[in-house]
Structures are given as structure tokens and as C-alpha cells.
Amino acid sequence: MSKPSLKQVWEWLDAVPDPEIPVISLVDLGIIRDVDWQEDTLCVTVTPTYSGCPATSIINLDIETALRDHGVEKLELKRQLSPAWTTDWLTDKGREKLEKYGIAPPQPAGGPKRCPLCGGTDLEKISQFGSTPCKAHWRCRACAEPFDYFKCI
């Protein structure tokens, strides 16, 4: 096969869902740091969200499966730790999808802007940690529902 363009590869990767929050893609999550052809090998550079994130190995497997399905034969996955992943790298599209899904997107202020369920702004933090390493647990006093907040790091 001829070498697919980098733009094409990014599009394929943008169709690979995050295993823990499948409404957003790996590209939305901001963990794909670089895609590059070196001779006839496609190099994909990935950074972990959290050191101990159990999804890391699944993510690598999903990337490999997706690209192989598209006919990429020579593939190299590289791990990059620095610069460390930050929620600033979430795409705008990803932020919108998170909120629609019921997860408040990260805010520079360090807490959710509004309840993703009813839009209420009277909110309280229940715990800095949530169902996955990247989330914190909050509650809305208006609708009384708990919700996940994608914490800002």
C-alpha cells in the first residue's frame, strides 16, 4: 500500500475512543503527541494521562489495532513523559462531548463551571478523586445529583 497521509492517520486516530470515556477520542483526550513517518515506519507518540492509569496498555492496543485495520504494517508506538499531559490539551470538541455525556469539563479555576445535568451553578465538591484517576466527584445542590468532574491538571 502507499503511505497514508499524516492527516489521514490523525483522522483514523480521532475515531479511536478513549476506553474509559468512549464519547471522546484519543485525539480529543490530547494524549497523541505526534504522528510521523520515519522511512516506511509510522511512529505514533503517546503520553500517559496518569502514571498508573490502567487504560494505558489498552490504549496502545487500540491504537495498534485501529492502524493495522487500516493497513498500516510497520508501526512504532513511543512513550513520551515530558511535557507531562495536561487537561489543556483536551480539544474543544472533546470538552463539548464530555459535558453532553454528563462529565463537567476541566476549568482553569479548578472546579466545574456548571452542573452538566441541569446547568446549575450551586455546586459542592464531594471528593478530589472519582471513578477514574482523571475525575473528581462533585454534586449539584440545585438538582441534587452527583456528577463527575474531569479534573484540571
Partner 1 sequence: MADKLNKNDALFQFLLRLGDNTLVLGHRVSEWCGHSPVLEEDIALANTALDMIGQTQFWLGLAGEVEGKGRTADNLAFLRDVWDFRNLLLVEQPNGDFGQTMMRQFLFDAWHSIMLGRLMKSSDQRIADIAEKASKEVAYHLERSADTVAGLGDGTEESHAKMQTALDLLWPYIGEMFVGDEVDAEMVKAGVAPDPASLRDEYDALVGRVLADATLTTPDSKFAHKGGKTGMRHSEHLGHILTQMQWLQRAYPGATW
Which residue ranges make up the site for partner 1 (CB under 8 A)?
Answer: 48, 50-54, 81-85, 126-131, 133, 137, 153
**Which residue, 125 or 141, has its beta carbon nearer to partner 1?**
125
109 binds, among partner 1, Zn ion, none (CB under 5 to 8 A by kind): none
Q: Using CB under 5 A, which of 46, 103, 104, 140 touches Zn ion?
A: 140
* 140 contact, one of Zn ion, partner 1, none, CB 5-8 Å limit per kind: Zn ion
Return phi, psi of residue 127, to 5°.
-155, 145
Q: Is the dihedral of CA 115, 32, 6, 70 positive or negative?
A: negative
2 binds, among partner 1, Zn ion, none (CB under 5 to 8 A by kind): none
Q: Is 143 in the site for Zn ion (CB under 5 A)?
A: yes
CB 137 within 8 A of CB 149: yes
The DSSP call for residue 88 is G
In angstroms, the CA 141 to CA 126 distance is: 12
Say how far apart CA 101 and CA 94 lie, in whole Å: 10
Site size for Zn ion, by CB under 5 A?
Answer: 7
Q: CB of residue 93 vs Zn ion: minimum separation in angstroms?
A: 24
In the set 29, 63, 67, 115, which binds Zn ion (CB under 5 A)?
Answer: 115
106 within 8 A of 150, measured Cβ to Cβ: yes
Q: Least distance (Å) from partner 1 to the CB of residue 107?
A: 16
Beta strands in 80-132 (DSSP E): 103-104, 123-127
Q: Which of these, 102, 83, 109, 105, lies nearest to 92 by C-alpha position?
A: 105
Minimum distance from residue 133 beta carbon to partner 1 (Å)? 5
Give the binding site for Zn ion (CB under 5 A). 115, 117-118, 120, 140, 142-143
